[in-house]
Amino acid sequence: MSTEEPTLLNWSNDLIDSLWFRICDYLTVADIHRLARTCSRLHTLLTSNDFWSYLTRKKFGHTIWYRLIKTSSIFTDPIPLSDSVNKACRSKLIYLNLTKRKQIAFSELTRFSFDTNRTYVSTPDSSSLNDYVLHIKDSLELCYALHIETVFKNILPGKYDVIWRMKLNLPYMLGATEFFAVAEQIHPSQTAYMRWTQEDFSLMYRCFYCDLTKTNLWFYQSIGFVEIHGDQPCDVYVCMANYDSIHAKHGVYLDYVELKLCLE
């Protein structure tokens, strides 16, 4: 009769790579980083291009994976990042860039360019992204055109939905208010554009005004899609403008604008 003790399974060494890949489907990036520090084999596996390439394909689909990792030269040249990031593999850099939310809050006034016709200030609002919003509230005597612009830096190629989070309170926006977004490329593939009249603002106000609580509800408005072609990141410019100079403009609260990657 054999007296040999059964061999214990060493999970870090005995599981095949594909099983670890599947396990990591259910982990956050922080969890993966902690798991990679448990042993040398997992550190090698979970910091490899193959692993992060797999995660990119799993989360974002074949089209995005093929465009940004399989056939792209993104992040193959030295890039001006910190030493710790430079050591990261290329597929991981792309994955982290894709998962980072591309959002600019209107409370960050320094990230916007404004017309010089009025003073823009942020207003406290606990239901907003950063507890502050941009409130367009002219006095009736203030009658000037309006122009608000910002830029998203170094956005990866792809198709993005351009979304504005806003709410309204008795909006008064006579004339045409235009929302526009375009990639800074010689021949942009697709630009986002939406045109609202005073009637459009009034309609949305009636839809998102709650009489029971006397509050105005935030809503998400897509102004269309902007596409970045090629294989290099570029900037995306986003703008809101109303060039009617004979009427005041007020009743609009702006929380943030976001680029949301379309999964194909």
- 115 and 159 belong to one structural domain: yes
- 147 and 177 belong to one structural domain: yes
Last residue of a domain, one of 63, 83, 100: 100
Last residue of a domain, one of 74, 100, 126: 100
pLDDT in tens, 89-98: 889 999 999 9
What pLDDT score was predicted for residue 14?
Answer: 66
- Of 96 and 217, more confident: 96
- At residue 212, does pLDDT exceed 90? no
For residue 170, is it within any domain? yes
- 40 and 135 belong to one structural domain: no
The mean-pLDDT minimum among 10-19, 100-109, 124-133 falls in 10-19
- 133 and 172 belong to one structural domain: yes
How does residue 142 score in pLDDT terms, banded at 50, 70 and 90? Answer: confident
Residue-number span of the structural domain to which 47 is assigned: 11-100
- 158 and 204 belong to one structural domain: yes
- 190 and 225 belong to one structural domain: yes
What would the DSSP string read from start to end of the chain? ---PPPPPP-HHHHS-HHHHHHHHTTS-HHHHHHHHTS-HHHHHHHTSHHHHHHHHHHHH-HHHHIIIIIS--TT-S--S--HHHHTS-HHHHHHHHHHS-EEEETT-GGGEEE-SSS---EEE-TTSSSSEEEEEE--TT----EEEEEEEEEEPSEEEEEEEEEEEEEEE--S-EEEEEEESSSS-SB-EEEEE-HHHHHHHHHHSEETTTTEEPPEEEEEEEEEE-SSS-EEEEEEEEE---SS--EEEEEEEEEEEEPP-
What mean pLDDT is predicted for residues 234-263? 94
For residue 79, is it within any domain? yes
Provide the domain count of the chain. 2
- 16 and 129 belong to one structural domain: no
- At residue 6, does pLDDT exceed 90? no
- 157 and 72 belong to one structural domain: no
- The pTM assigned to this predicted structure is 0.85
CATH number of residue 235's parent domain: 2.60.120
For residue 2, is it within any domain? no
